[in-house]
Amino acid sequence: MSLVTARDKGTLLLAFLTGLSMNGTFSAFFSAYVPFSLFPAIALGLSAWCLHQRYLNRSMPDGLPSLAAAFFLLGILLYSAIVRAEYPDIGSNFVPSILMVIIVFWIGLRVKGRSTSGR
């Protein structure tokens, strides 16, 4: 049995993209270091709409909402770490990087727990 189905992977990917584009939109609109662009706002609107439609039309299995929230936070932290690496005047990317590692290990434990409980 697959530990995460294809439908679940789509939800997790949409949550990750929503986190990336949310932080990208915020940075593009409010940061002097990041050049302005409308593309993160368009990506945010589309990914949030698709995620909302998926939530309305399909039931989520147990444990998937917390995994989706973790992927959303992972997207936010990944964009923050990349921007801070590209523009070091903003600050260090140490804290976002450490938090990303913690979230990735937590996601791994949750997915492993789902696979052992599904058997």
Q: Does residue 116 carry a pLDDT above 90?
A: no
Could you tell me the CA-to-CA distances from 115 to 57, 79, 90 in Å, in that order? 25, 29, 40
Query: For the chain, what percentages of helix, strand and coil (3-state, to nearest 5) are there?
Result: 75, 0, 25
Half-sphere exposure of residue 109: CA atoms within 13 angstroms, side-chain side = 8
Q: Does residue 7 carry a pLDDT above 80?
A: no
**pLDDT for residue 118:** 59
**pLDDT for residue 61:** 86
Task: Tell me the C-alpha distance between 82 and 76, whole Å.
Answer: 10
Which pLDDT tens digit goes with each residue over 53-100? 999 998 888 888 999 999 999 999 999 999 999 999 988 999 999 999
**pLDDT for residue 10:** 92
Rounded mean pLDDT, 38-59: 94
